[in-house]
Amino acid sequence: MKFNVVSPENTKELLELISVNQDRYFRFGAGYTDLLIELKKQPDEDLTVINLAQLTDDIFTAISKIADGFRIGSLVTAKRISLSKDLQSNYSVLTEAAKKLASGQVRQVATIGGNICTASPAGDMACALVALQANCEILNSNGTLRIIPITDFFTGVRTTVLQKDEVLRSIVIPSNNRKNKIYSNFIKIGTRRAMECSIVSLAYHILTDEKSIITHAGIALGSVAPTIMLAKSACDYLLGKSFSSLNPSEIKEFSQKILEYASPISDIRASAWYRTEVLGNVAKSIFEN
Amino acid sequence: MSQSIKINFTINGKRTELTIPPYMLLIDLIREELGLKGTKPGCLEGECGACTVLVNGEAVNSCLYLAINVDGKEVITVEGLPVTPEGEIDPVQEALIQHGAVQCGFCTPGMVMSIKSFVAQCNKDNIIPSPDEIKKAIEGNLCRCTGYVKIVEAVESLF
């Protein structure tokens, strides 16, 4: 495994390096927990790694409260997300996903931007962000910013809308409008509880008013399709219903709507049949526990 | 591919300057450049934790860490844990011995470093961890011999 490394220390240097490397093969490295494993398996090529680990600009490295929600820099680590009290009280789906990601050693360095850009259908934090219907703030090498919903970010297994001259700068999570209570959690099913890549994951973020009526629902599914899926019709189905008194037939109908988004494969971790059964049961468990 | 990069860092309390290839992994810096063989190469893909070291006090997998990124930082390996003039070893190591929590010993240096960082965090937050919290703290360290029970008991004894 051999490659060159360039280490920008600020946004300006980063954009220049993206620009000058347009004709070369380059990759971004941040936490390296995915990239190094991938590069170890590849034959040596004339590769340049743009090392983001020494970039210190707040816009890439901070969690900040903004007028319409929270902005998280793409270099914020899973560990920092898991410890953020602001995120825990507003978006516990995200902090729970961060806590369940891999191990302490990995969480210490793995970044939220990396979890998104690696575009795995099993990405834990990415799944939570789809449930939260976050927006991705993408910079191109000219410094132009474009904002796209995370639901449009993934185009397939390990592919995204990012162009070669673009970098994911930050993520914005919208405010919890008109909420009385927040039901927000990340359910991860694996064969063991530690260091596990999920067999099925379900992220939900549901807001209710003072009468327990559901006013907002975001539900995302991981590891059951080529990309993380927002189960839109299942979310819409919940609107106007009472969170605490869904009847068994409504819960069943909700679960069936969730399953419409699943097209799982059988692989070394689980069979397609098992994934489907588990997903249906996990979906019901939101309202049954 | 002739690029090389100069880094300044602290290893086990000693300031060090080295010029290394940019693709060098932290585990190779520690074992091959510095000759510190206590840090073990296991799976080399972040699953087993045998290569765990502390960077600025936090446990990381040295097999998935670019060595150039320790520039300006403090690295502690198992060799860097203090031994008193009377020969007393680190309390974490002593607890593992006292509880019979070491069998083949290959996972032990990594396990010790994960426990070190966890104990420091608990002490800072004034927390006495539950057995489940201890298990969570060592989730990134595989041990194929002990079944973990004695390791968890050893960590409990530190509080």
Q: What is the pLDDT of residues A46-97, one digit of tens each?
A: 999 999 999 999 999 999 999 999 999 999 999 999 999 999 999 999 999 9
What CA–CA distance (Å, rounded) separates B102 from B89? Answer: 15
Residues of chain A in contact with residue B44, where contact means CB-CB under 8 angstroms, are 40
Between 3.90.600.10, 1.10.260.40, 3.30.530.20, 3.10.20.30, what CATH number should domain B5-79 receive?
3.10.20.30
Q: What is the pLDDT of residue A195?
A: 82
Q: Give B60 to chain A, closest Cα distance, Å.
A: 4
My answer on whether A10 and A84 are in the same domain is no
The residue out of A36, A54, A72 marking a domain boundary is: A54
My answer on whether A34 and A63 are in the same domain is no
Q: Which residues contact A2 (CB under 8 A, 6 or more apart)?
A: A44, A47, B1, B21, B23
CATH code for the domain in which residue A128 is found: 3.30.465.10
Residues of chain A in contact with residue B60, where contact means CB-CB under 8 angstroms, are 105, 108-109
Q: Which domain holds residue A35?
A: 4-54
Q: What is the pLDDT of residue B28?
A: 98
SS3 A92: helix
Mean pLDDT of B76-104: 96
My answer on whether A73 and A161 are in the same domain is yes
- Supply A122's token pair: 């099993």
Q: Which residues contact B127 (CB under 8 A, 6 or more apart)?
A: B133
Q: Give B53 to chain A, closest Cα distance, Å.
A: 9
Q: What is the pLDDT of residue A192?
A: 83
SS3 B69: helix
- Supply B51's token pair: 């290569």
Q: ipTM of this complex > 0.90?
A: yes
Q: Which residues contact B104 (CB under 8 A, 6 or more apart)?
A: B144, B145
Q: What is the pLDDT of residue B133?
A: 97
My answer on whether A44 and A139 are in the same domain is no
- Strand pairing class (B5-11; B14-20): antiparallel
At residue A235 the predicted structure's pLDDT band, cuts being 50, 70 and 90, is: very high
Q: Do A29 and B52 touch (CB under 8 A)?
A: no
Alpha helices in B15-100 (DSSP H): 26-28, 91-98
At residue B64 the predicted structure's pLDDT band, cuts being 50, 70 and 90, is: very high
Residue B1 pLDDT > 60 = no
CATH code for the domain in which residue A49 is found: 3.30.43
Of the listed ranges A176-190, A218-232, A253-267, the one predicted with least confidence: A176-190
What CA–CA distance (Å, rounded) separates B56 from B70? Answer: 9
| Average model confidence (pLDDT) across chain B | 97
My answer on whether A45 and A114 are in the same domain is no
Q: What is the pLDDT of residue A193?
A: 81
Burial of A9 (0-12, 13-18, 19+ CB in 10 A): exposed
At residue A252 the predicted structure's pLDDT band, cuts being 50, 70 and 90, is: very high
Mean pLDDT of B110-134: 98
Residue recorded with tokens 């008194």: A245
CB A51 within 8 A of CB A100: no
Q: Give B85 to chain A, closest Cα distance, Å.
A: 32
- Strand pairing class (B74-76; B5-11): parallel
Q: Do A105 and B118 touch (CB under 8 A)?
A: no
Indicate the residue type of B55: V
Higher pLDDT among residues A166 and A289, named by residue: A166
CB A82 within 8 A of CB A141: no
* Domain ranges for chain B: 5-79, 91-156
Mean pLDDT of B28-37: 98
Q: Do A32 and B64 touch (CB under 8 A)?
A: yes
My answer on whether A41 and A86 are in the same domain is no
At residue A151 the predicted structure's pLDDT band, cuts being 50, 70 and 90, is: very high
Residue B2 pLDDT > 90 = no
Q: Which residues contact B70 (CB under 8 A, 6 or more apart)?
A: B7, B9, B26, B29, B55
Q: Do B44 and A103 touch (CB under 8 A)?
A: no
Q: Give A51 to chain B, closest Cα distance, Å.
A: 9
Q: Do B69 and A4 touch (CB under 8 A)?
A: no
CATH class of B91-156: mainly alpha
Residue B157 pLDDT > 60 = yes
Nearest CA in chain A to B45: A37
My answer on whether A37 and A120 are in the same domain is no
A157: how many CB neighbours lie within 10 A of its CB?
Answer: 13
My answer on whether A48 and A63 are in the same domain is no
- Strand blocks (E) in A229-278: 229-230
My answer on whether A235 and A137 are in the same domain is yes
Residue A202 pLDDT > 60 = yes
Q: What is the pLDDT of residue A247?
A: 94
Q: Do B64 and A102 touch (CB under 8 A)?
A: no
CB A127 within 8 A of CB A92: no
Q: What is the pLDDT of residues A124-149, one digit of tens each?
A: 999 999 999 999 999 999 999 999 99
Task: Please tell me what DSSP assigns to residue B86.
Answer: T
